[in-house]
Structure 1
Amino acid sequence: MGTGRAGLRRLVSPRSWSRPVRFVLTGLLVLVVVAAMGVTAYRTLKPAETVSRADKPVPSPEPIKSIQYAELPSAPLIVEGRLRVYTEQRRVFADTPVTAQRMNTPHWSYRRWPAEVVSIVEVEKPASGVGMSVVITKWSDGEIVALDAEKGDIVWQAKIDPADGESFKGRRTGAKTMWSPEDLFVSASAVDKQPVVIATGKDVVEGIDPVNGDIRWTRSFTSEPGCRTNDWTGPDTYFVKNTCAKPATLEIYDSASGVLLNTWRPPGASIGTDNVTNWFIEPTSCQLGHSGCVMFKAAPTGDVVTYTDAASGLGTITPAYWSLAADHTIKPEPVADKDTTIAVGDVIAQQMTGGYIWAFSRTTGKRLWMSEVAGRLIGGDQRNVYVINNEYQLLVLNLETGAVTSSTELRIRPADRFVYSLYYLHAGYLVIERLQTTKESEIDDRYYFSQDTVVLVGIG
Structure 2
Amino acid sequence: MRRVLTGLFAVVVVSAMGITSYRTLKPAETVSSAKKPVPTPEPIKSIQYAELSSAPLIIEGRLRVYTEQRRVFADTPVTALREMTPHWAYRRWPAEVVSVVAVEKPASGVGMSVVVTKWSDGEIVALDAEKGDIVWQARIEPADGETFKGRRTGAKTLYEPEDLFVTASSIDKQPIVIATGKDAVHAFDPTDGRVKWQHSFPNEPGCRTDDWTGTDTYFVKDTCSKPATLEIYDAATGVMLNTWRPPGASIGPPNVTNWYLEPTSCQIGRSGCAVFKAAPTGDVVSFADAASGVGTITPTYWSLGADHLIRPESVVDKDTIVIVGDTVAQQVTGGYIWAYSRTTGKRLWMSEVAGALIGGDQRNFYIINNQYQLLVLNLETGAVTSSTELRIRPEDKFVYSEHHLHAGYLVVERLQTTKESEIDDKYYFSMNTVVLVGIG
TM bracket (short chain): over 0.9
Quote the offset at 1:92 in angstroms.
0.6
Deviates more, 1:91-100 or 1:344-353: 344-353
The within-5 A match list for 1:126-165 is 126-165=106-145
- Which blocks of at least 5 consecutive residues in structure 2 are unaligned? none
**1:413 pairs with 2:393:** yes
**Residue 158 of structure 2, aligned match among 172, 178, 183:** 178
CA separation in 2, counterparts of 1:355 and 1:317? 21
Q: What residue in structure 2 maps to residue 392 of structure 1?
A: 372
- Residue 68 (str. 1) matches residue 45 (str. 2): no
Letter matched to residue 318 of structure 1: T
Whichever of the two has the greater Rg, that structure is 1
Aligned pair 1:243/2:223, yes or no?
yes
Distance 1:256 1:439 in 2: 39
Question: Within 5 Å, which residues of 2 pair with 1:101-250?
Answer: 101-250=81-230
2:33 corresponds, among 33, 48, 53, to: 53
Deviation at 1:352, TM superposition (A): 3.6
Q: CA offset at residue 36 of structure 1?
A: 3.4
Q: Structure 1 residue 355: deviation in Å?
A: 1.5
| Alignment match of 2:69 (pick from 56, 65, 89) | 89
The answer as to whether partners of 1:352 and 1:358 remain within 8 angstroms in 2 is no
Partners of 1:353 and 1:386 in 2: CA distance: 15
Report SS of the residue matched to 2:55.
coil
Task: Tell me what 2:432 maps to.
Answer: 452
Shift of 1:334: 1.6
CA deviation after TM superposition for structure 1 residue 408, in Å: 0.3
CA distance in 1, matches of 2:416, 2:180: 33
Q: Which residue of 2 aligns with 1:36?
A: 16
- Which of residues 306, 318, 323 in structure 1 aligns to 2:286? 306
Alignment: residue pair count? 440
- SS of 2:142's equivalent? coil
Gaps of 5+ in 1: 1-10, 13-20
1:272 equivalent in structure 2: 252
Match in the other structure for 2:352 = 372
Task: Give 1:354 deviation, angstroms.
Answer: 5.2
In 2, distance between residues paired with 1:329 and 1:365? 20
**Equivalent position of 1:363 in the other structure:** 343
TM (norm. structure 2) is 0.98
Q: Which residue of the partner structure matches residue 423 of structure 1?
A: 403
Give CA deviations for 1:207-254 in whole Å, capped at 9, x if unaligned. 100011000000111110100000000010000000010000000000
Match of 1:336 in 2: 316
Question: Quick check: 1:289 aligned with 2:269?
Answer: yes
Answer whether contact 2:34 2:131 (CA < 8 A) is retained: yes
- Give, in angstroms, the shift of residue 165 of structure 1: 1.0
Matched residues, percent identical? 80
Q: Deviations over 1:96-132 (max 9, x none)?
A: 0000011000001111111111100000111111111
1:6 paired residue number: none
Shift of 1:34: 3.8
Bigger shift: residues 172-181 or 306-315: 306-315
| Aligned residue number for residue 17 of structure 1 | none
Work out the CA distance in 2 between the residues paired with 1:93 and 1:48.
16
Q: For 2:191 and 2:436, how far apart are their aligned partners in 1? A: 29
Note the 1:345-360 alignment, pairs <5 A.
345-352=325-332, 355-360=335-340
| Contact in 2 for aligned 1:420/1:434 (Cα 8 Å) | yes
Q: Is the 8 A contact 1:123 1:135 kept in 2?
A: yes
The residue aligned with 1:99 is: 79
Tell me how far apart the structure 1 counterparts of residues 384 and 378 of structure 2 sit (CA, whole Å): 6
Where 2:162 maps in the other structure, the secondary structure is: coil
Counterpart Cα distance in 2 of 1:366 and 1:354? 23
Q: Secondary structure at the match of 1:178?
A: helix
For residues 333 and 82 of structure 1, the distance between their equivalents in structure 2, rounded to whole angstroms, comes to 37
Tell me, in whole angstroms, the C-alpha distance in 2 between the residues paired with 1:88 and 1:112.
Answer: 11
How far residue 140 of structure 1 moved from its aligned partner, in angstroms, is: 0.7
1:441 paired to 2:407: no
